[in-house]
């Protein structure tokens, strides 16, 4: 099943990221190149993004409200490449880094950006309002991406989407940080999942997440490369 495969890949990425952090490495770990990744995607990009191909099954559909109060469904985006993330509108750790990567990717895509949609589904059950996702979008300049949609809705609908995409979410209380799987799905114009990537970050000695400018730029360029592959 798509969900089972997604969960397996996500857990593998989480374990790899945890091991990398424990050993305090500043360079990306060397991992075997996954089968099924085309040669036009460089090994450096594949390793940086922990990119894995997934079976071309239809991506689970959903319908939510975005930061403008408009209804958006995945089905309505057929004919577009979709870059799908799961983000917390109150996150001050990894989500702002991912935001910059998406902004860079949109810029690097050039004309292809017109056929690409950047989505994020809210993982914060305690902050589900349109105002919450709108504030995060504006604060982190995601609103500069013309095709950006930060989606939110009822807890039941959000939880169903998390489950469909194998996203683990732990939110013990309204005041606690939301812990969740940090992955990026690449969905082709036919509405099929093609690739899954797992963002990784460096940490300061105090445990604060960051990415050096070189890696940040590389991630944005990597996202753009994968989208170009979807188009080819």
Instruction: Give the closest residue to 137 by CA, choosing from 155, 154, 119.
Output: 119
Ramachandran sector of residue 191 (left: φ over 0; alpha: ψ -120 to 50; beta: rest): left
The DSSP 8-state label assigned to residue 34 in this structure reads P
Cα–Cα dist 183/39, whole Å: 22
CA distances from 220 to 61, 112, 211, 230 (A): 26, 14, 12, 16
Position 157 scores a pLDDT of 98
**Angle 53-228-147 from CA coordinates, rounded to 5°:** 100
Cα–Cα dist 216/203, whole Å: 14
CA distances from 61 to 201, 202, 206 (A): 29, 33, 40
Position 31 scores a pLDDT of 60
Q: Give me the domains of the chain, ranges plus CATH numbers.
A: 2-231 (3.40.30.10)
DSSP, collapsed to helix, strand or coil, labels residue 128 as coil
Q: What is the pTM of this model?
A: 0.82
Position 93 scores a pLDDT of 80
CA distances from 204 to 24, 55, 160, 210 (A): 10, 37, 35, 7
> What would the two tokens of residue 72 be?
């958006």
Position 104 scores a pLDDT of 94
Positions in the chain whose pLDDT score sits under 50: 1-29, 203, 208-210
């Amino acid at each position: 099943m798509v969900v089972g495969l997604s969960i397996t890949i996500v857990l593998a990425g989480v374990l790899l990221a945890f091991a990398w952090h424990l050993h305090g490495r500043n360079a990306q770990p060397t991992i075997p190149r996954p089968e099924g990744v085309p040669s036009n995607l460089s090994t450096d990009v594949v390793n940086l993004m922990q990119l894995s191909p997934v079976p071309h099954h239809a991506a689970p559909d959903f319908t939510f409200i975005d930061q403008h109060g408009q209804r958006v469904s995945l089905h309505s985006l057929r004919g577009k490449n979709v870059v799908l993330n799961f983000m917390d509108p109150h996150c001050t750790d990894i989500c702002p880094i991912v935001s910059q990567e998406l902004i860079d990717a949109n810029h690097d895509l050039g004309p292809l950006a017109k056929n690409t949609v950047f989505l994020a589904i809210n993982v914060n059950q305690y902050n589900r309002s349109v105002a919450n996702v709108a504030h995060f979008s504006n604060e982190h300049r995601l609103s500069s991406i013309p095709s950006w949609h930060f989606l939110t809705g009822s807890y039941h609908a959000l939880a169903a989407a998390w489950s469909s995409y194998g996203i683990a979410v732990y939110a013990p209380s309204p005041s606690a940080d939301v812990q969740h799987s940090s992955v990026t799905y690449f969905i082709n114009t036919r509405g099929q999942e093609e690739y899954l990537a797992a963002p990784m970050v460096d940490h300061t000695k105090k445990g604060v997440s960051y990415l050096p400018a070189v890696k940040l730029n590389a991630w944005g360029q990597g996202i753009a490369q994968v989208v170009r592959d979807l188009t080819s």
